[in-house]
Structure 1
Amino acid sequence: MNTPRPSSSWLRLPALALCAALVGCAANVERPTAASQALQVPARAQSSVALVVRAANPEVAKSSDWQALRGAWRDAMAGAASAAGKQFQYLDAEPQTTPAGSTLVVVQVKDYRYLSTGARYGLGVMTGNAYVNADAAFYVGPGRTPVGTRSYSTSSSAWQGIFSAMTDKQLSSISSAMLKDIDGG
């Protein structure tokens, strides 16, 4: 007895639906105050990046998930730097000088809502939206020569459901944008 095989077009429909849903996974970085000209980071300082993440005000640092956000940002920048072929160092405190041959990025988090991917998968849209709003100052060494500032923000949308970009993906996108800015892009 022959069993009818499903039409190949019926098999494509679920695959297309999955692809469409996954489009919401990426985080888009908004740069509300993007400077019109590129950062002036010398080539000698583009291969090594140091990152400091601090709160722009005491209320931000008092949040129960502040250390989780800092750790997630450290991991995101480490991954982005590795992918870009750059050396990376995370600093707990802001140094007085920047080592020669490196770029120091000092991030001041103005506001955020930390949501883990696990929370989104477990609670769905009831978890709300994740967002990050931060300013970054860029310095090159030797010494501490300022080369510019940038603002970065990103947010998720509950309508994207479990596929919306949570804090880890948002920080990865911001970190990649920072490295692009360092490279003059």
Structure 2
Amino acid sequence: MNTKRTLTSLLSASVLVLAGCASSPQATTDSPKNPGQPADITRIAPAVSIPAISTRKMVLTMTGPKHVVESKDWSDFKREWRDTFQDHAKEAGVAFSFTETAPSISTEDGTAILVDVADYRIVGIGARIWFGIMTGNAFIDAKVTYTNLRDGKRLGEQQYNTTSSAGSGIFAKVTPQQVDAIAKNVFLDLKTAK
């Protein structure tokens, strides 16, 4: 009986604590949102113009400074990006691959996406639900550069700065949702290619 009361008390306390944490991806500038982009990401730069022929294939590579790539959870963070982008590629009908190093010039048409991560902090959905605001804030500071696979021509770049903040409850955008929001923007650029 005592155990049930203790468990109920702990769950009630968790709900109260969880009510104090939230997140929303934010930009580092006050640039307006572009029409048609997902609601929870503000672009730092205009949409990247990608030739339609280059939208059939995507190669994703991730890099960052030494303190980032040597972080103990770097492989988990990369896996989150790989899996999320793979899901979006499948849905969009785009051939997708993930490489550890930037691809060289290819005979195939496509777009190389280089994600240069300046800094990040992973917070998973489970941690947010169980520990609420005590888990701290998830954030991503990354630049995404688009390059044509066939000739290596740089097509453009986007800067993404996402963060979570206290105040919106347990529905805070933790790392998986922040990566998903970035992926939606990247695939929006592919979808609107001319």
TM tier, smaller = 0.7 to 0.9
Aligned residue in 2 for 1:47 = 56
Alpha-carbon shift at residue 98 of structure 1 (Å): 4.2
- Contact 2:23/2:166 (CA < 8 Å) preserved in 1? no
TM-score with structure 1 setting the length: 0.77
1:19-98 alignment, distance < 5 Å = 28-32=40-44, 34-35=45-46, 38-55=47-64, 57-98=65-106
Separation in 1, partners of 2:135, 2:58: 34
Deviation per residue, 1:131-154 (Å, 9 max, x gap): 111001111131311111111121
**Counterpart among 132, 154, 161 of residue 169 in structure 2:** 161
Distance 1:165 1:41 in 2: 29
Contact in 2 for aligned 1:100/1:140 (Cα 8 Å): no
User: Per the alignment, do residues 99 and 183 of structure 1 end up closer, same or farther by CA in structure 2, a change over 3 Å counting?
Assistant: farther
Q: Using the TM superposition, give the Cα deviation of residue 159 of structure 1 relative to its aligned residue in structure 2, in angstroms.
A: 1.9
| Uncovered stretches (5+) of structure 1, i.e. residues with no partner | 1-20
User: Over residues 38-83 of structure 1, what are the superposed CA-to-partner deviations in whole Å (9 max), with x where a residue is unaligned?
Assistant: 423211111211100111x111122221111111011111112222
TM-score w.r.t. length of structure 2 = 0.74
Between the aligned partners of 1:115 and 1:61, the Cα distance in structure 2 is: 17
TM-superposition CA deviations, 1:70-126 (whole Å, max 9, x none): 110111111122222222111121122245221110010011111111111121111
Computed over aligned residues only, the root mean square deviation of the Cα atoms, in angstroms, reads: 2.1
Q: 1:158 to 1:82 in 2, by over 3 A?
A: farther
1:129-168 paired onto structure 2 within 5 Å? 129-168=137-176
Check the 8 A contact 1:31/1:153 in 2, yes or no: no
- Give the percent of matched residue pairs that are identical in Structure 1 and Structure 2: 30
Q: Distance in 2 between matches of 1:169 and 1:149?
A: 21
Q: Which residue in 1 is equivalent to 2:11?
A: none
Give the distance between the partners of 2:163 and 2:23, measured in 1 at CA. 12
SS of corresponding position for 1:173 = helix
**Secondary structure of 1:31 counterpart:** coil
SS at match of 2:167: helix
Larger radius of gyration: 1
The CA distance in 2 between the partners of 1:104 and 1:87, in whole Å, is 12
Aligned residues of 2:123 and 2:174 also touching (Cα < 8 A): yes
Identify if the C-alpha distance between structure 1 residues 99 and 65 changes in structure 2 by more than 3 Å, giving closer, same or farther.
farther
Q: Report if the CA contact (8 A) 2:106-2:150 is conserved.
A: yes
Task: Give the equivalent residue in structure 2 for 1:17.
Answer: none
Structure 2 gaps, min length 5: 1-18, 26-39
Match of 1:101 among 103, 106, 109: 109
Letter in 1 for 2:141: N
